[in-house]
Structure 1
Amino acid sequence: MSDDVTIPAFRSVPRTGVIYVTTEATRRGYRSSDPDWCNLGQGQPETGELPGAPARLNTVTIDVADMEYAPVAGLWDIREAIAGLYNRLYRRGMPSQYSAENVCLSGGGRAALTRAAASLGSVNLGHFLPDYTAYEELLDVFKAFTAIPILLEGERGYNFTHEDLRREVQGRGLSALLFSNPCNPTGKLVQGDELARWVGVAREQECTLLIDEFYSHYIWTGRPGHLPVESAARYVEDVNRDPIVLFDGFTKNWRYPGWRMTWTVGPRQVIDTVASAGSFLDGGGSRPLQRAAIPLLQEDVVVAETQAIHATFREKRDRFHSRLERLGIRTDRAPDGTFYVWGNVSGLPAPLNDGMGFFRAALEEKIIAVPGEFFDVNPGKRRARPSRFRNYVRLSFGPSMEVLEKALGRLEALILRHSRG
Structure 2
Amino acid sequence: MSAPDSSGRAASMFRSVPRTGVIYVMAEAGKQGFRYGHPDWCNLGQGAPETGELPGSAARLSTIGLDTESAEYAPVPGLGDLREAVAELYNHRYRRGMASRYTADNVAIASGGRAALTRLATALGRVNLGHVLPDYTAYEELLEVFRAFVPIPIVAHEREGFRLSPQALREAIVGSGLGAILLSNPCNPTGRLIAGEDLRRWVTTAGKLGCALIIDEFYAHYVYGPPSLRHAGELPHSISAAAWVEDVDRDPVVIVDGLTKNWRYPGLRLSWTVGPKSVIERVSSAGSFLDGGAPHCIQRAALPLLEPSLADQEAAAIQRAFTIKRDLMLERLGGMGIRVAGAEDGGPEGAFYCFADLRQLPESLANGMAFFRAALEQQVICVPGVFFDVDPGKRRDHIASRMAGFVRLSFGPDRPQVERALDRLAALVAGAS
Give the whole-Å Cα distance in 1 for the aligned partners of 2:211 and 2:139.
Answer: 19
Mapping 1:154-165, distance limit 5 Å: 154-165=158-169
Give the whole-Å Cα distance in 2 for the aligned partners of 1:129 and 1:320.
Answer: 24
Secondary structure of 1:251's counterpart equals: helix
Secondary structure of 2:164's counterpart equals: coil
1:180 to partner: Cα distance? 0.3
Aligned with 2:424 (options 404, 410, 417): 410
Partner of 1:12: 16
Question: Structure 1 stretch 214-223 or stretch 72-81: which is displaced more?
Answer: 214-223
Partner of 2:339: 330
Give the whole-Å Cα distance in 1 for the aligned partners of 2:284 and 2:432.
Answer: 53
Give the whole-Å Cα distance in 1 for the aligned partners of 2:234 and 2:308.
Answer: 17
Secondary structure of 2:365's counterpart equals: coil
Give the whole-Å Cα distance in 2 for the aligned partners of 1:413 and 1:182.
Answer: 31
Partner of 1:69: 73
Output the amino acid matched with 2:417: V
Partner of 1:231: 240
Partner of 1:176: 180
Provide structure 2 residue ranges, at least 5 long, that are not aligned to the other structure: 1-6
Q: Given the alignment of the two structures, is residue 56 of structure 1 paired with residue 60 of structure 2, yes or no? A: yes
Aligned with 1:378 (options 376, 388, 391): 391
Provide structure 1 residue ranges, at least 5 long, that are not aligned to the other structure: none
Aligned with 1:153 (options 151, 154, 157): 157
Is the Cα–Cα contact under 8 Å of residues 345 and 391 in structure 1 kept in the other structure?
A: yes
Give the whole-Å Cα distance in 2 for the aligned partners of 1:21 and 1:226.
Answer: 34
Q: Given the alignment of the two structures, is residue 360 of structure 1 paired with residue 373 of structure 2, yes or no? A: yes
Deviations 1:25-75 (A, max 9, x none): 011100111111000000000001111101111111112111111111100
1:5 to partner: Cα distance? 5.2
Mapping 1:14-413, distance limit 5 Å: 14-221=18-225, 224-333=233-342, 334-384=347-397, 386-413=400-427
Secondary structure of 1:418's counterpart equals: coil
Deviations 1:162-201 (A, max 9, x none): 1111111111100000000010000010000110011000
Give the whole-Å Cα distance in 2 for the aligned partners of 1:227 and 1:176.
Answer: 28
Aligned residues: percent identity?
Answer: 56
Give the whole-Å Cα distance in 2 for the aligned partners of 1:92 and 1:167.
Answer: 32
Is the Cα–Cα contact under 8 Å of residues 224 and 235 in structure 2 kept in the other structure?
A: no
**Root-mean-square deviation (CA), in Å?**
1.2
1:291 to partner: Cα distance? 0.6
Deviations 1:88-109 (A, max 9, x none): 0000110000000000000010
Deviations 1:176-234 (A, max 9, x none): 00000010000010000110011000110000000000000100017543533100000
Aligned pair count reads 416
Give the whole-Å Cα distance in 1 for the aligned partners of 2:80 and 2:280.
Answer: 13
Is the Cα–Cα contact under 8 Å of residues 237 and 312 in structure 2 kept in the other structure?
A: no
Secondary structure of 1:113's counterpart equals: helix
Is the Cα–Cα contact under 8 Å of residues 340 and 354 in structure 2 kept in the other structure?
A: yes
Output the amino acid matched with 2:63: T
Secondary structure of 2:23's counterpart equals: helix
TM-score, reference length from structure 1: 0.97
Is the Cα–Cα contact under 8 Å of residues 227 and 303 in structure 1 kept in the other structure?
A: no
1:390 to partner: Cα distance? 0.5
Secondary structure of 2:179's counterpart equals: strand
Is the Cα–Cα contact under 8 Å of residues 270 and 294 in structure 2 kept in the other structure?
A: yes
Give the whole-Å Cα distance in 2 for the aligned partners of 1:315 and 1:331.
Answer: 16
Give the whole-Å Cα distance in 2 for the aligned partners of 1:343 and 1:116.
Answer: 31
Is the Cα–Cα contact under 8 Å of residues 106 and 284 in structure 1 kept in the other structure?
A: yes
Question: Structure 1 stretch 376-385 or stretch 25-34: which is displaced more?
Answer: 376-385
